[in-house]
Amino acid sequence: MKWEGKKLKSIKQVMEAMEKLQSKEEAQLFLAAAREANPQNADSNVGYLTGYMPAERMDQLLEWFGVKHPVFGAKSVGPAEALRMGIEMGEKARQHG
């Protein structure tokens, strides 16, 4: 995807750009660029990447982007809850196999 005149080629570059966002308006422009590059998966990809950020920043970015994390939803969760949700997902995947 292209952002601020640069082609972001790696997950690391995308996350670094996300970490620098300073407003909802800027986040919406970033999301529009992500959607242009990947219309089908941009929202879930951006939401997923927020999960690697500290909880406060994750919540802020989810609100600014107006997206959800594909596993955790619209808010960050603690480590125990994340583990529980991951185990549930694994069990469901195993059952539907």
pLDDT value of residue 54: 95
The H helix count followed by the E strand count for the chain is 5, 2
Note whether 73 and 59 are within 8 A (CB).
Answer: no
Query: Among all chains, which residue has been given the structure tokens 């660029």?
Result: 33
Q: Is the pLDDT of residue 96 over 90?
A: no
Q: Distance between alpha carbon 89 and the CA centroid of its chain, in Å?
A: 18
Q: Is the pLDDT of residue 1 over 90?
A: yes
pTM for this prediction: 0.88
**Backbone dihedral angles phi then psi of residue 71, each to the nearest 5 degrees:** -110, -45
- E-state strands within the chain: 2-3, 6-7
Q: pLDDT per residue over 15-44, tens digit each?
A: 999 999 999 999 999 999 999 999 999 999
Q: pLDDT per residue over 86-95, tens digit each?
A: 899 899 999 9
Q: pLDDT per residue over 34-76, tens digit each?
A: 999 999 999 999 999 999 999 999 999 999 999 999 999 999 9
C-alpha to C-alpha distance for 54 and 72, rounded to whole angstroms:
14
Sorted by where each begins, the domain ranges of the chain are 2-96
pLDDT value of residue 34: 97
